[in-house]
Chain A
Amino acid sequence: MKNIRIKKRARISQGDIYKDVEFIEYAIEKTGVIEISKIVFPFVVVLTQDCDLNHDYTVRWARNGGSNHDKKIISVIVAPLYNAEHVYKGEHLSELGMTMAEIEKGKTPGKTLRQNQTPRYHYLEFPTNVPIVSSVIDFKHYFTVNVEYLKKHKKGNFICQMGPLYREDVSQRFSSYLSRIGLPEQ
């Protein structure tokens, strides 16, 4: 991927990559003790439509926000980026006690993944000025993050933004994966 924006914008944008984003698994209270379980993802990419993010920003933070909150969104869709080397070995979620399927790097499954022909995954390589190794977005692991949390988190955790066409490509492949139709096995 050659087209990368390092300079951050004021608002959250589609294709932004942030580090150390938290996902709250659960928060329960029992007999006066609160327990919170969260997963910290080293890198995530923003998948929400950019026009939605733009409208939300205008309503939420810009001075000319308008008279109602019709364009406000509740959360931002993100998907994790995993170290490609970990993915090949099926070890990328080992810290969560999960073993994933191996993908043979040098054989057809690995090549298909790198050519972005495996619907579930999106392979990315970054230029040397971006401190991320070759990574894989797993569309199955998408989750949502609170807008205000992400806006605050962005400061100090913004890595880069994927350039035009590349981010649209990710978005289009994500929506295609999400809208797949599971047919019964014969």
Chain B
Amino acid sequence: MNKESVFSAEHDIDNTTNSQSSIQKKGSAPKDEEKYETIKEIESDYNLSKPRRILIRARIIPK
């Protein structure tokens, strides 16, 4: 009765690896990338919703 505990670190790592590979097999990785892009877009919008300063310098051309 020297069974490996299901709560061992190795078991967790194995399962994680397996689950990752199954996701990759299903072709979900690009979807995750899309999600990541969407999150970045939302975050940038979040920053854009703050007041911002614009500085303009222009040379005056005499008529």
B38 to chain A, nearest CB (A): 17
Q: Which residues of A contact B (CB under 8 A)?
A: 25, 29, 32-42, 80, 82-83, 86, 91-96, 133
Contact yes or no, B51 A93, CB < 8 A: yes
Contact partner, A39, options B51, B57, B58, B59, Cβ 8 Å? B51
Contact check: which of A33, A40, A133 meets B51 at CB < 8 Å?
A40
Query: In the assembled complex, which residues on chain B have CB atoms less than 8 Å from the CB atom of A91?
Result: 50
Q: Does A83 lie within 8 Å of B49, measured CB to CB?
A: yes
Query: Within 8 Å CB of A83, what residues of B?
Result: 46, 49-50
B51, B55, B58: most-surrounded residue (chain A CB, <10 A): B51
Give chain A nearest CB distance to B58 CB in angstroms.
5
Q: How many chain B residues touch the partner (CB < 8 A)?
A: 15
Q: Across the interface, which residues of A come within 8 angstroms of B50, CB to CB?
A: 42, 82-83, 86, 91-95
For B59, list chain A residues within 8 Å (CB): 32-34
B54 and A38 contacting across the interface, CB-CB below 8 Å: yes
Query: Counting CB contacts under 8 A, is B6 at the interface?
Result: no
The answer, yes or no, to whether B53 is at the interface (CB within 8 Å) is yes
B47 close to chain A: CB less than 8 A? yes
- Extra pairs beyond A39-B51, A95-B51 (13, CB < 8 Å): A32-B60, A33-B58, A35-B57, A37-B54, A40-B52, A40-B54, A42-B48, A42-B50, A42-B51, A80-B51, A82-B50, A83-B50, A95-B50
Query: What is the CB-to-nearest-CB distance from A81 to chain B, in angstroms, rounded to a whole number?
Result: 10
The reply on B56 being an interface residue by CB < 8 A is yes
A34 to B55, CA, bound (A): 11
Q: How far is the CB of B47 from chain A (nearest CB, A)?
A: 7
**Are B60 and A95 closer than 8 Å at their CB atoms?**
no
Instruction: Looking at the assembled complex, report how far the CB atom of A102 sits from the nearest CB atom of chain B, in whole angstroms.
Output: 16
Complex CA distance for A39 and B56, rounded to whole angstroms = 11
